[in-house]
Chain A
Amino acid sequence: MRVLLAIGCDSYDHADLLHGAERDAQRMYDLLIRPEVGEYDTNRSRLLLSPTCGDVREALREALFTEPQPDTFTFFFAGHGSVSAGAFYMWLRDSNQKGLSMSALSLADMFRSINEATPLQSNIVIDACESGGLIQDLGALLKPGLLGNVGSPGLTLLATAAQDQVASESPDGGFGTVALLECIEGHDFVQDHKGMLDLVEIGMRVSQRLRASGQNPVVWGLNLFSPSGFCKNPRYGTDPAAPLRQALQAWPTGSNDVIRQNYDALWAAYSATGGVWNPKKFSAVVREVLSPTMAPEVLAILADRLAVTLAQRGLQARDPFRRAEVSATLAVSLLSSIEHLSVADTAQRLIDHTCMSLIDATSALIEDLKADRYALLSDRKGVLSELHELPLRLTRVLGWAAAATFICSDENQYTQAAAQFATLVSLVLEHYGGSLTALNDAQAAGFCITLSACARLGLRNEGELLVGLLFNSLIQCEGRIARDDIPGDRALEYLLARHKSDYSKSMDLVARPIELLTVIFKAATLFELEEIFDESLWKIDGVAFSAYLPNSYTSYGASLMEGGENLVWQIGFDVFRTAEFSASWPVAKAVPESSLVASLALAASLLYPDRQAWFLFD
C-alpha cells in the first residue's frame, strides 16, 4: 500500500502567516494521488491544511500504523521550519518557539516513527520557509544513525528552503515545490530510461534549478533496499498507463544480503563522496557491493541506484571532478559482467555521465585557472605536502580531461572535450611546468592517456614538451621515482632522499620496475623523440621498467589481475636505445572487445593507476 500525507501550513498562532504553503500541499496531494502519477491510496492518504500538532501526530499514527501498514510512505510538508537545540522542527498551527519539542513536529521523531513502522520506502519532502542557514543546519543534522541499524527502511529526504519567503515564491507557488511538480509532471526532464522516478533523481534536478536562484537544497538518503517508487516517470517510453505497482514488483531482492553486509561501509562511502574522499576505500566498497557473482539484472539496477544517490552526494564535494570519479568507479565495477546486455546498458549510461561530469569539471577548472593561476594548489594547511601532491594532481587533472576525449559517444561532446583539453594543457604548461615532473609511478596512467590524447588531437608541441619534461626529470633522479602506493607519512622522507640524491635509507620507497618509463618510451615514438632520448639513456643505466598486458581488458576493473604478462626490460641489459624497446614490444594478446570496454579500461587505469591503457598507443 502507498500512503501519502501532505501538509501545508499557512496559519500560525505564534508565527507570521504564510500565503502559499496550503496551495503547495494541495497541488502536491492532487497530483500524487492520481493513479497515473503516484498511485497513492485515496482512502489512506491525507491532506492537512494548517493543522495543529495533535492533528499531525494523529494523522501520522493512522498513516503508518493502521493495518495494512504501507510499503511506501510519502510525507510532504510546506510551512515554517526551524532548527533548535540541534533538532529540526516543522511548524504547525499551534507551534510555539517556547517549547518547540512539545508543539512542533521534529524530524527526528518522524524518523523514529518510520523506523518503527518500517515501510520499504519512505520519501520525505520539506519545503520550508525561514531566514538564515536552515538547510545547511539540516544538512549537518542528518546522520546515518538516524535511520537505525541494518534492517531499517529505505528513506530519502529532499528539503528546500529560501532565505526570503517572498523571493522564494512565483505566482505558481514556492520555487521548491514548483520545481518538484514540474519534474513529476514531466515538464522538466529527469531521466527516460526507467519507468519510475526516485526522489533522489528528482532532488538532483531540483537542486540544479534552485542553485540558480541561490538556494541549495538538501537531498539525503541511501535507499538501496527497495524500488525507487516516488512516482511514475512521465518521460519513460513504455505504456504510460501501466500500473506503477507492476514496475515496483520488478525490483529484484537479490541484492539485499550484500547491502546488509556492507551497510556501514556504504554509508561511509556515501559520506565520503561529499567529504573526505578516499578513492581506494570507495572502490573497495563498490567492488564488494557490485559483485560479479550477483545476477546481472540486479547488478545493473543496483549500480544505477548507487549512481543516482552518490552522484547527488558528489555535488557537495569541493572537488568538481568527484562526480566523474564516482560514476567511473561504478561503471568500471561492471566491467567483468559487461557481456550482459542490461549491465552494458548501465555501464554505457555511467560512462556517458562520467564524460558529462568531466566536461563540467574541466570547464570549472579552466575558469578557475584563468581567474587564479594558483587554483590547482590545495588550500589545506599542509603547504609542503604540495611538493608531493601537486605533480600527482596535475597528472590526474590532465589524465581525466584527456579521458573525456576518448570516452565520449557524442560528436558535440567530443568537440567540447577536445577544445577543453587543449586549453587545459596549455594553461598547465604555462603555469605549472616545474611540477610536471616524474615523481611517482602512479603518474604512468595519467600520462599514458594525456600523451596519447596530445598525439591524437595534433597537439604535437604540447606533447613533446610534456614528455620532454617527464624524461628530463626522470634522468635527473636517475629513474628513482616513488612507488605508486607510497604511504602518505613517508612521502616527505622520499622527497628528502630525492633532494639529497641519497636513497640509501629509503630504498623501499623507490619503484622497481617502473611503468612511467615505458609510457615515456611509447610516447617518444609518437613524437619522434627517440634519438634525443637515446643520448641520455646511459644516465639511467640499470633502471628496470615494465608493462602489464592483460589476457582481456574486461579484467581491468579487478584489484588484482591474473593470467596476463608482466613485460620487463632493463636499461643497459636488454635496452640501450629506444628502438630496441619498440622492436621488442609484443603483439598484444588482447584488444578491448568494444569501444565501451575500451572506455571502461581507460577509466580503470585512472582509478587504479597500476595498469595502463596501452591500446591507446596502438
Chain B
Amino acid sequence: MIKLLKGKRANYFSDETGEKEFHQSFVKLLAQMQKENVSKYLNPENTHRFKHGGHWVHPAAPDLSPSDMKLHSTETAVSFDKLVNHDLTIIDQVLRQISENMERQLMQMMYSTVSAAAESVGNTVDAKLAESTHEAIAQMLEKVDFSSDRFGNVTLPTIHAGRETVQAMLKSVADAPPEFHQRIEAIKARKTAEAVEREIQRKARFIRYGFTE
C-alpha cells in the first residue's frame, strides 16, 4: 500500500501544467472582461497603469490632493457537486459573478471619488431645493467646466443616473418652457467658449506651441 507523507493528500493524475495553462487562460478572459468594463466608464486614453503600489501625488500640481490605491477584490464559490456533475453553466456563472462584482466596485469607487471631490469644494446642487428638476439641471450645468481637446473640440459633460431619474429629467426638460432651452443653449455656448479659451491659455504656457521649422 502506498503511503504519502503525513499531511499530503494524493493528487491522482493531476496535470499540473495543463491546470496552470487552463487557469491562465481563465485569468486572461477575466482580464479582457474587466478591460471592457473599465472602458465603459473611462476613456482608455485617460487611464494610467502603475508599476508599483502606494499612493500617488502631483508635486507640480499642489492643488491636487494625493490619492490612494483602492483594492478591488471579489470571491466566488463553486460546489464540488457541480464540478463532478460536469455542469458547464458554472463557467458563465463564475465569469459573470466576478465581472459584475468588479464592475460594481469600479462604479462605486468612481462615483464616491467624484462625489467627494465635488463636495470638498462645494460644487454640488441640491435637486430638492431647486424649483424643478430642469432648474437643477441648469444649475448643474452652470457649475461644470467643459473641457476641450488640443484641437479645440469641446466635450459636453455626461450625466450618470439611474433609469427613473433619467426619465424624470428628460420629462422635466421636455416640459420646460422655451426660455429654459434658450438659457441652456446660452450656458453651453458660454462654457464652450470658456473651455476653448482655457485650452488656448494652457497651450500658451508652452514655448512656441505647434511651431515647426
Contacts and interface: CB of A to CB of B under 8 A. Distances in A.
Contact of B13 (A276, A393, A437): A393
Nearest to A374: B80
A434 B80 CA distance: 12
Contacts of A538: none
Which size bracket describes the interface of A in this complex?
A: 35 or more
A489 B91 contact: no
Contacts of A611: none
B86 interface: yes
Given A319-B14, A389-B14, A393-B14, A382 B86 contact: no
Given A388-B22, A489-B24, A360 B12 contact: no
Contact of A491 (B3, B25, B89): B25
B26 interface: yes
B18 A491 contact: yes
A492 B11 contact: no
Contact of A498 (B5, B19, B88): B88
Given A361-B2, A382-B19, A387-B90, A319 B84 contact: no
Nearest to A491: B22
Given A380-B19, A382-B26, A390 B83 contact: yes
Given A387-B88, A488-B17, A492-B26, A363 B10 contact: no
B1 A364 contact: yes
A379 B16 CA distance: 10
Contact of B22 (A384, A435, A498): A384
A264 interface: no
Contact of B86 (A378, A390, A488): A390
A368 B14 CA distance: 15
Interface in A283-336: 315, 318-321
Contacts of B94: 384
A253 interface: no
Contacts, number: 144
A489 B22 contact: yes
Nearest to A372: B9
A499 B12 contact: no
Contacts of A361: 2
A396 B10 CA distance: 15
B20 interface: yes
Contacts of A338: none
A493 interface: yes
Nearest to B17: A278
B130 interface: no
A432 B87 CA distance: 12
A363 B15 CA distance: 21
Given A390-B84, A493-B25, A368 B10 contact: yes
Contacts of A496: 91
A60 interface: no
A318 B10 contact: yes
A202 interface: no
A319 B80 contact: no
A140 to B, nearest CB: 13
A499 B92 contact: yes
Contacts of B19: 378, 380, 382, 385, 389, 488
A495 B91 contact: yes
B21 interface: yes
Contact of A318 (B3, B14, B15): B14
A408 B177 CA distance: 95
Contacts of A377: 80, 83-84
Given A383-B78, A384-B91, A385-B22, A492 B29 contact: yes
B110 to A, nearest CB: 30
A572 B22 CA distance: 35
Contacts of A391: 86
A430 B85 CA distance: 11
B84 A374 contact: yes
Nearest to B76: A383
B23 interface: yes
Contacts of B83: 377, 383, 386-387, 390, 435
A189 interface: no
Task: Name, among A216, A318, A490, the residue most crowded by chain B CB atoms within 10 Å (CB to CB).
Answer: A318
A384 B25 CA distance: 11
A216 B17 contact: no
B8 interface: yes
A379 B91 contact: no
A135 to B, nearest CB: 11
B2 A320 contact: yes
A505 interface: no
B4 interface: yes
Contact of A363 (B1, B9, B21, B86): B1
A29 to B, nearest CB: 32
Interface string B80-114: 10011111111110100000000000000000000
A488 B13 contact: no
A376 B20 contact: no
B12 A490 contact: no
A488 B86 CA distance: 18
Given A380-B11, A393-B12, A385 B3 contact: no
A493 B22 CA distance: 9
A258 to B, nearest CB: 27
Nearest to A212: B3
Interface in B15-65: 15-26, 29
Contacts of B88: 387, 495, 498-499
A585 interface: no
Nearest to A361: B2
B26 A384 contact: yes
A557 B98 CA distance: 46
A277 B88 CA distance: 27
A107 to B, nearest CB: 22
Contacts of B8: 318
Contacts of A318: 4, 8-11, 14
A347 to B, nearest CB: 24
Contacts of B12: 319-321, 365, 375-376, 393, 397
A353 to B, nearest CB: 14
Contact of A379 (B4, B5, B9, B86): B9
Contacts of B4: 318, 320
B140 to A, nearest CB: 44
A240 to B, nearest CB: 33
A389 B89 CA distance: 16
Contacts of B13: 319, 321, 392-393, 396-397
Contacts of B11: 318-319, 378-380
Given A377-B83, A380-B16, A434-B86, 7 more contacts: A276-B16, A320-B10, A321-B12, A432-B84, A492-B22, A492-B25, A498-B88
Sorted nearest first, the 3 A-B pairs with minimum C-beta distance are A488-B21, A434-B85, A382-B23
23 contacts: A277-B16, A278-B17, A319-B14, A321-B13, A363-B1, A364-B1, A367-B1, A368-B10, A374-B84, A378-B14, A380-B16, A380-B19, A382-B22, A384-B22, A384-B90, A387-B88, A392-B15, A434-B86, A488-B15, A491-B21, A495-B88, A499-B88, A499-B91
